[in-house]
Chains A and B, each alone.
Chain A
Amino acid sequence: MKETLIIAGFGGQGVLSMGKILAYSGVMQGFEVTWMPSYGPEMRGGTANVTVILSDRKISSPIAYEYDTAIILNQQSMDKFEAKVRPGGTLIYDTNGITHHPTRTDIHIYSINATEESAKLGNTKLFNTMILGGYLKVCPVVTMENVKLGLKKSLPERAWKMLPENEKAILHGAEIIHQIR
């Protein structure tokens, strides 16, 4: 098993922490993992992305040239990463703010409107865990039990009171994701 994933969007959308939750979930599942972020000023309000690799073998390069899955959360990232999904791979995107929708026909495409759904729940901070739930529905690389453990591991203790809400958001994300192609 090897899953090479990129999560790309705006700084502040929780891109890096979503990657971290997934990476920690992978650790709990017994996988080798790498989490390789873009960093620096571009994180501060600009675009941010993180490459997460989960594998049952030692991971050679933490830097990928194509992805099994791309989670795309803004137009700039769509422009940059749609072409980098391997044929037969998966592209998941939040439709909010997307003007040019993906056009490829050789990959699986899913959309999820977590921006709107998290706003409806009155907590936009749940946006990223909702997206994560959608992703795990489509690509169940780690068990829900390990995701719960990964979530807890990746949050500081002072944020543990947020765990139940985030777990619900993951389940909700799994319900609202739908396949386009």
Chain B
Amino acid sequence: MAQQQQEVKLMKGNEVIAHAAIRFGCDAYFGYPITPQSEVMETLMELKPWETTGMVVLQAESEISSINMVYGAAATGKRVLTSSSSPGISLMAEGISYIAGAELPCLIVNCQRGGPGLGTIQPSQGDYFQACKGGGHGDYHLIVLAPNSVQEMHDFVKLGLDLAFKYRNPAMILADGAIGQMMEKVVLAPQQPRRTNEEIAAECKEWATYGKPADRKRNVVTSLELQSEAMEQINLRLNAKYRTMEENEVRYEAIECDDADYVLVAFGSSARICSATVEMARAEGLRVGLLRPITLYPFPTRPIAELAKRVKGFLSVELNAGQMVEDVRLAVNGAAPVEHYGRQGGMIYSPDEVLAALKQKLIKA
């Protein structure tokens, strides 16, 4: 019976971000068009959620403006998101740093394309460093989720915002042009109500700036602290928060890793391709597994370190010149060989190319 009540649609990854934002009760979306993710705002504008849930949707004059609108909306305790693609995320970097510094919750979707510079509009995973190692200035981390299906694009809108509010920290969905443009079946969540101003006031009373009632002190959202001693305390508090995330929020999927001699490490669209590589390798009698980080930050360091005790090698498969491989190497810490295989410029490997690379770089070596 439950099956019949589910709302199953065929949808692009980008379109589903819009549907999920509405259905999970988001209060606002601010964005600026950029390929390959413009369908997010186009879909929102077509769905007109301001007439149903009251969600605000606004096309800003730049990504700089959209992220600062996100900052303003988040400062008042609202559930807010934006989306962009690589060059636009670079423009947002300053604002993201402010959001992290001011400890505001929000969701940023990066539907990556190839770079550097204007680059290409075809898919890439070249923004791993930017997403996971800062991107903007100062010591901070985003919570980074890597969906590998249209369904996860949908689900991670909720997960991302829930984690963002849990830790008062910006979260990012790090997708790519392939996931954004691909259509798959997706089960849409039932419509959930937006939180009322009263609920927000109750939940976010300590920090949100929705207008100062008589019964509390004024709230100030800022990342400024000119006294070094006090600023260091803020940094230490942020660091403690990041350690808690590393302890509690690591998510990953292990496919055929139990008896694996070789383990592919891949996220997002690469992980989909690599899961077919695993099938091909197993058909040939090769014991190959796949570890798919779902959270890129916090990174699944421990499960990789555990595997490193008994496998013959890791191949980090990424649509870039070798970024996540650094985190795999840190996790493996010399216990096993770690190699990287990648394509760039919007080129995508097929499952057989990944298998050939595995054989060439690790199995035959």
Binding site for B on A (CB under 8 A): 20, 23-24, 27, 32-37, 39-41, 59-65, 153-154
Cβ of B352 within 8 Å of any chain A Cβ, yes or no, is: yes
A63 B183 Cβ-Cβ under 8 A: no
Number of interface residues of B (CB under 8 A): 27
- Cα of A136 to Cα of B174 in the assembled complex, Å: 38
B182 A62 Cβ-Cβ under 8 A: yes
Residue-wise, chain B 272-290 has the 8 Å CB interface mask toward A (1 for contact) of 1111111100000000000
A and B contact pairs by CB, cutoff 8 A, 6 listed: A27-B10, A34-B182, A60-B351, A61-B275, A65-B352, A153-B10
B279, closest chain A residue (CB)? A60
Binding site for A on B (CB under 8 A): 8, 10, 35-36, 121-122, 177-178, 181-185, 269, 272-279, 348, 350-353
Please provide the 4 A-B residue pairs with the shortest distance between their CB atoms, ordered closest to farther. Answer: A65-B350, A61-B276, A35-B183, A60-B276
Of the residues A20, A37, A60, A62, contact of B10 by C-beta under 8 Å: A20
B350 A64 Cβ-Cβ under 8 A: yes
- Cα of A33 to Cα of B269 in the assembled complex, Å: 15
B288 to chain A, nearest CB (A): 13
B85 to chain A, nearest CB (A): 11
A129 to chain B, nearest CB (A): 17
B181 A37 Cβ-Cβ under 8 A: yes
A39, closest chain B residue (CB)? B181
Which residues of chain B are near A33, meaning CB under 8 Å?
Answer: 10, 183-185
A101 to chain B, nearest CB (A): 27
- Cα of A118 to Cα of B10 in the assembled complex, Å: 28
- Cα of A60 to Cα of B288 in the assembled complex, Å: 15
Of the residues A20, A62, A65, contact of B178 by C-beta under 8 Å: A62
The secondary structure that dominates the B interface is: helix
B23 to chain A, nearest CB (A): 19
Q: Please name 10 further chain A to chain B contacts, defined as beta carbons within 8 Å, in addition to the given A33-B183, A39-B181, A61-B350, sorted by A numbering.
A: A23-B183, A24-B10, A33-B185, A39-B36, A39-B121, A40-B35, A61-B276, A62-B269, A62-B272, A63-B269
Interface-centre pick from B278, B348, B353 (highest chain A CB count, 10 A): B348
- Cα of A139 to Cα of B36 in the assembled complex, Å: 33
Which residues of chain A are near B353, meaning CB under 8 Å?
Answer: 65
B310 to chain A, nearest CB (A): 25
A36 B178 Cβ-Cβ under 8 A: yes
A60-B272, A63-B348, A64-B350 as given contacts; A27 in contact with B182, CB under 8 Å: no
B272 A35 Cβ-Cβ under 8 A: no
A20-B10, A27-B8, A34-B184 as given contacts; A40 in contact with B272, CB under 8 Å: no
B350 A40 Cβ-Cβ under 8 A: no
- Cα of A156 to Cα of B257 in the assembled complex, Å: 44
A40 B36 Cβ-Cβ under 8 A: yes
Which residues of chain A are near B279, meaning CB under 8 Å?
Answer: 60
Which residues of chain B are near A20, meaning CB under 8 Å?
Answer: 10, 183
A63 B273 Cβ-Cβ under 8 A: yes
B178 A23 Cβ-Cβ under 8 A: no
Which residues of chain B are near A41, meaning CB under 8 Å?
Answer: 121
- Cα of A21 to Cα of B55 in the assembled complex, Å: 31
Interface-centre pick from A20, A23, A32, A62 (highest chain B CB count, 10 A): A62
Which residues of chain B are near A40, meaning CB under 8 Å?
Answer: 35-36, 121-122
- Cα of A65 to Cα of B343 in the assembled complex, Å: 15
Which residues of chain B are near A154, meaning CB under 8 Å?
Answer: 10
A150, closest chain B residue (CB)? B10
Which residues of chain A are near B177, meaning CB under 8 Å?
Answer: 39
A63 B350 Cβ-Cβ under 8 A: yes
- Cα of A65 to Cα of B122 in the assembled complex, Å: 18
